[in-house]
Amino acid sequence: MGILEQVPVTGWAGPFPENVTSRAVRALEEGKILFAPGLSSQLSAAEQKFLSTAYLSAKSKNISYNKETGALGGTDSQGPEREELAGMMRRFAEHAIGLLLALCPTYATQCTPGLTSFRPAEISGRATSWRKDDTRLHVDAFPSRPSYGKRILRLFANVNPSAGRVWRAGEPFENAARKLLPRVNAPLPGALAMMGLLRITKGRRSLYDHYMLGLHDAMKADTKYQAEAPQSQLEFAPGAVWACYTDSVSHAAMSGQHAFEQTFYLPVSAMASPALSPLRTLERILECPLA
């Protein structure tokens, strides 16, 4: 349980004391999972009806919400019901953004909120390819959207009223990278630019994105690593709220249903300790600039 860092907050709105915020930033950047045992996330009585997979589109595993545009994806709901669903997503997004920026006020000017998602489907037993199987330990990397080294920070909430959400959390990022990086081949000359020209990726993929995606795939594909890598099992109870840098904390969601997730993006330069980022870590290992 050493990977968990508990923070003594009981409300979603700050400001919080400096000793709490500095501790939160340090823990996140050191690769820990921030956990607020005194904080709870629950749906309102009117929102309880959304605890159902009936609101998911046939091929979707989550419902997404873009706070900037109001766009809702992954659902076929229409009319007033769609508006209610969007309202639930918007409410969580506002609470999550307020909490994260209050816990990490030094990030506030450069931290960009991304999509909000609601995951009403049960994780365990879902049929999928090994590459998309989130029950396997992995670090987050985007195959089509280059990040150029920006951090991926996510805040989660289990709104299942009766069951926990079970995770596995793996070894420190640098340890995993040194084991698995030798399996990731360098890109072919011109390949990264060509993917952008062909619109396989949204813009030219950087070397950082190439190696991070390679680590993601190497980790998921290796069943021996999955079984034998240092790891711990965590269960987040109903109402639990937690956060971590999912590009450096290797994690696997083993079981659970009905959870929210809010994504944030942060430039490495905005970190208190940029040397702890995956970008700088991979650059040290490979001895070359990657973004």
**Tens digit of each residue's pLDDT (9 = 90 or more) over 37-53:** 999 999 999 999 999 99
pLDDT digits (tens, 9 = 90+) for 152-202: 999 999 999 999 999 999 999 999 999 999 999 999 999 999 999 989 999
Confidence band, pLDDT 50/70/90 cuts, at residue 120: very high
Encoding tokens for residue 267?
């430039």
> Where exactly are the structural domains of the chain?
4-285
The tokens for 213 are 């995606």
Among 41, 257, 233, which Cα is nearest to 162's? 257
Q: What does 38-53 look like in DSSP terms, one character per residue?
A: T------GGGGGGSSG
Token pair 């501790």 is found at 23
Across the chain, which distance is largest between two alpha carbons, in Å? 57
Q: Please choose, from the candidates 274, 268, 237, 242, the residue with its C-alpha nearest in 3D space to the C-alpha of residue 100.
A: 242
pLDDT band at 1; cut points 50, 70, 90: low
15, with CB counted inside 10 A (0-12, 13-18, 19+), is exposed
At residue 252, the 3 state secondary structure works out as: strand
Q: What is the CATH number assigned to the segment(s) 4-285?
A: 2.60.120
Cβ within 8 Å of residue 81, ≥6 positions away: none
AA letter at 249: V
